[in-house]
C-alpha cells in the first residue's frame, strides 16, 4: 500500500513538474461576453420558431459562395441570403430536400443501424462550376450523389454512386473538391469504415486511389480539408502515426500532396494508384527544453496571404488521453514544399526504429515529382516512370522532417481550461488599414475566442485574447447533451461584419465586434484593443472601416494605452442594453438586471 502511495506521489510530482516547465500559460481575455448578452444573436435552426415537431438540423457543413451561405444537414440544404440582415432568426431563402427512399431506410435498419441514422445526411456540397453543384449524402448508409443547379437548387441529371466520394455514416469525416474538372475526395469506401481512401474520379483518365489497407499510406484517418495549389492537391488530416507504433498509439497531424497530372503507375507497379502521394507531419508545438506538442489537428483554413506569404492556419489539440490543451499554428506553403523536397523516412524491419533514407538511396526521377515538371520533366506521364521510382514511393510515402510552424511557435495557446478548441476562421485584413489578423476559434464548450494574432516575429506584442464569447444559445438550440455545445464550423462573412457559428442543432450569427457596448466610455473603447473598434469624433465607441482612413476616430490596437484616461464607473450603455464596468483598464460586459435569469 505504501509503495502504491509512493508511486502515485512520484507520478503526481513528475506531472506537476512537467506542467510547470512545459505547459504554456493562458492570457486572460480583455473582454468577456456572457450568455445573457449573446442570446440576442440571430439563430438558424432549420425550422421556424415554435415548430418542435420537425426534426433537428443535424448540421454537417456550410459554405459561403458570393452573397449566399449554404447550410447542409439531414435531408436538406438551406440557402441564406447574406445581404438580408436578420434580427432574431436567420430565415432561409431556399431549401433543397433530398430524402432517402423507403427501401434504402429499410435496408439500413436491416443492417443493424438505428432509425435516426437511416437518413440522408448531406456530406458533400462542391461547386463544379458557376452553375452546377455536386451534392452527396449518406443516403441511409448507401451513399449517392447528384448534380443541382447552384442558384435554384433544382435537381439536374441522374443519381450516381457516392462510393469513395461520400462516407456511409454522418459521423465520419470527409473532404472533396474539384480541380481541373476532376473530383478529389477523401473518405471511407466501405460500410465497415475499414477502407480509408483518397480518391480521384470523374473527368478525363481513369480513377486513382491510395493503396487499400496499407497503413504506411493512411491509417485510421480523420480527413479535415483539401486545397488546390499550383500543380498539386493537398489534403490535411490526422491519423494514427505508424512511425510511433513501437512507443504506443498516438495521433499525428498530416499534410499529404498529390500531383494533379498523376495518371497512375505502370501495369507492373501502382497501376490505378497514386504515383505521387507523399505525406508529412505538421508540427504544432511550444519550443523549450522539452517541446510540448499539440498533435491533433481539428480544423484548418484555406490558403490565405499573411505578410504576403501563402499560409494555412490550423487549430490543434493535445492527445485525447492527455491534459486538455489547444493551440493555433500557421504554416507557410513554402515550408510545406521544403519538407516534400527533403529526405524520406523508412522502417527497415517491422521492429526497427524509423530513420531517414540516405540521399544516395533515393532513385531518379525523384519520387513524388510530377511528370513533365521539375526533376521529372523528361517523362510525359507518370505511367512512364521507372519501376524503381514507383516501388520506392509505394513503400516510402512519409517524409522524414515535420513541417515547422511559422516563427517556430504557435500564434496562440489555451491550456488552462477543460475544453479543447475545435474550429477556426481568420480575418487577415482587420482594422481600418486592413493590417491586422484576427482569429476566431470555436470550442467544445460553445465558447468562441477572438484573438489578435502576432503574425510577425518583429512585433513587440504577443497574440492577444480580445474576447471570450459564450456563443451557444441554450434556449434556442435544444441541446440533448454536452456534445451539442461543440462548435463544428465557423464561417466568416467579412462583407457584413458577421461570423456564423455552427453547432449540431443550430447556426448562430454573431457580429465580429461589439464596439457600441463601450458606449461613451473612452477608456473601455481604447483598452479593448479591438481593430474593428475606435473612439469616434461623436464621443462614442463605434465600428471603424477602411472608408474611415481620413480620420475621425482614435484607436490603439498595439498597446491599448489608457493611462491618460479616467475610469468610467457603473456606466449603462442604452444602445446595447448592457452595463460596462471598468476596473484597472479591464472591461466586464454584463447584462442589466432585467435580463437576469
Q: Closest by alpha carbon to 70, among 12, 124, 146, 140?
A: 124
pLDDT at 52 (0 to 100):
60
Between the CA of residue 291 and those of 275, 286, 331, what are the distances in Å? Answer: 35, 6, 18
pLDDT at 47 (0 to 100):
75
**Dmax over Cα atoms in the chain, in whole Å?**
79
Give pLDDT < 70 ranges for the chain.
1-24, 48-54, 289-290, 458, 460, 550, 569-597
Q: Closest by alpha carbon to 496, among 56, 69, 8?
A: 69
Question: Is residue 552 within 8 Å of 538, Cβ to Cβ?
Answer: no
516-595 under CATH 3.40.50.300, yes or no: no
Q: Whole-model pTM above 0.75? A: yes
Q: Note the CATH number of domain 56-421.
A: 2.130.10.10
Q: Residue 389: how many CA atoms within 13 Å on its side-chain side?
A: 23
Q: Closest by alpha carbon to 501, among 573, 558, 448, 565?
A: 448
pLDDT at 208 (0 to 100):
98
Q: Domains of the chain: which residue ranges?
A: 56-421, 516-595
pLDDT at 17 (0 to 100):
42
Helix spans in 53-161 (H): 102-110
Q: Across-strand partners of 95? A: 78
pLDDT at 310 (0 to 100):
98
How far is Cα 210 from Cα 226, in angstroms, rounded to an integer? 15
Amino acid at each position: 500500500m505504501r509503495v502504491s502511495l509512493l508511486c502515485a506521489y512520484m507520478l503526481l510530482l513528475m506531472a506537476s513538474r512537467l506542467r510547470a516547465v512545459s505547459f504554456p500559460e493562458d492570457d486572460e481575455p480583455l473582454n468577456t461576453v456572457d450568455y445573457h448578452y449573446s442570446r440576442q444573436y440571430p439563430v438558424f435552426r432549420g425550422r421556424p420558431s415554435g415548430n418542435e415537431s420537425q426534426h433537428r438540423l443535424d448540421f454537417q457543413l456550410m459554405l459561403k459562395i458570393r452573397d449566399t451561405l449554404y447550410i447542409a444537414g439531414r435531408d436538406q440544404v438551406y440557402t441564406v441570403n447574406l445581404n438580408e440582415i436578420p434580427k432574431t432568426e436567420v430565415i432561409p431563402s431556399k431549401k433543397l430536400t433530398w430524402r432517402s427512399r423507403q427501401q434504402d431506410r429499410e435496408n439500413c435498419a436491416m443492417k443493424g443501424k438505428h432509425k435516426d441514422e437511416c437518413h440522408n445526411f448531406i456530406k458533400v456540397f462542391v461547386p463544379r462550376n458557376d452553375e452546377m453543384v455536386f451534392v452527396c449524402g449518406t443516403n441511409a448508409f448507401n451513399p449517392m450523389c447528384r448534380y443541382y443547379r447552384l442558384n435554384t437548387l433544382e435537381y439536374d441529371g441522374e443519381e450516381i454512386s457516392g462510393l469513395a466520394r461520400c462516407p456511409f455514416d454522418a459521423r465520419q469525416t470527409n473532404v472533396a473538391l474539384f480541380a481541373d474538372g476532376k473530383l478529389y475526395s477523401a473518405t471511407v469506401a466501405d460500410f465497415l469504415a475499414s477502407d480509408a481512401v483518397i480518391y480521384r474520379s470523374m473527368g478525363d483518365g481513369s480513377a486513382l486511389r491510395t493503396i487499400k489497407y496499407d497503413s504506411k499510406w493512411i491509417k485510421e484517418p480523420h480527413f479535415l480539408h483539401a486545397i488546390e495549389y499550383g500543380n498539386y492537391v493537398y489534403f490535411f488530416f490526422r491519423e494514427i502515426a505508424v512511425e510511433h507504433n513501437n512507443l504506443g498509439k498516438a495521433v499525428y497531424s498530416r499534410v499529404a500532396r498529390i500531383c494533379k497530372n498523376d495518371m497512375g503507375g505502370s501495369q507492373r507497379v501502382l497501376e490505378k494508384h497514386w504515383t505521387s502521394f507523399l505525406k508529412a507531419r505538421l508540427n504544432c508545438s511550444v519550443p523549450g527544453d522539452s517541446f510540448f506538442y499539440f498533435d491533433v489537428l481539428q480544423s484548418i483554413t484555406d490558403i490565405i496571404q499573411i505578410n504576403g506569404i501563402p499560409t494555412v492556419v490550423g487549430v490543434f489539440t493535445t492527445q485525447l488521453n492527455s491534459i486538455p490543451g489547444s493551440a493555433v499554428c500557421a504554416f507557410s506553403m513554402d515550408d510545406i514544399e521544403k519538407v516534400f523536397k527533403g529526405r524520406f523516412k523508412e522502417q527497415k524491419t517491422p521492429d526497427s526504429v524509423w530513420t531517414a533514407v540516405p540521399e544516395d538511396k533515393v532513385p531518379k526521377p525523384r519520387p513524388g515529382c510530377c511528370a513533365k515538371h521539375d526533376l521529372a520533366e523528361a517523362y510525359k506521364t507518370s505511367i512512364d516512370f521507372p519501376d524503381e521510382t514507383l516501388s520506392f514511393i509505394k513503400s516510402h510515402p512519409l517524409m522524414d522532417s515535420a513541417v515547422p510552424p511559422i516563427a517556430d511557435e504557435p500564434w496562440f495557446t489555451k491550456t488552462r481550461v477543460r475544453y479543447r478548441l475545435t474550429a477556426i476562421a481568420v480575418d487577415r485584413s482587420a482594422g481600418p488599414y486592413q493590417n491586422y489578423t484576427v482569429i476566431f476559434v470555436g470550442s467544445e464548450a460553445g465558447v468562441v475566442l477572438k484573438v489578435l494574432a502576432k503574425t510577425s516575429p518583429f512585433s513587440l506584442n504577443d497574440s492577444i485574447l480580445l474576447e471570450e464569447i459564450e456563443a451557444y444559445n441554450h434556449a434556442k438550440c435544444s441541446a440533448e447533451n454536452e456534445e451539442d455545445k461543440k462548435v463544428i464550423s465557423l464561417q466568416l462573412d467579412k462583407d457584413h461584419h458577421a461570423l456564423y457559428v455552427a453547432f449540431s442543432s443550430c447556426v448562430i450569427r454573431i457580429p465580429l465586434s461589439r464596439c457600441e457596448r463601450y458606449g461613451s466610455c473612452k477608456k473601455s473603447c481604447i483598452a479593448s484593443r479591438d481593430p474593428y473598434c475606435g473612439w469616434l469624433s461623436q464621443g462614442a465607441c463605434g465600428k471603424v472601416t477602411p472608408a474611415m482612413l481620413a480620420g475621425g476616430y482614435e484607436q490603439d490596437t498595439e498597446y491599448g494605452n489608457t493611462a491618460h484616461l479616467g475610469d468610467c464607473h457603473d456606466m449603462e450603455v442604452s444602445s446595447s442594453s448592457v452595463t460596462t464596468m471598468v476596473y484597472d483598464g479591464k472591461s466586464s460586459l454584463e447584462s442589466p438586471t432585467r435580463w437576469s435569469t
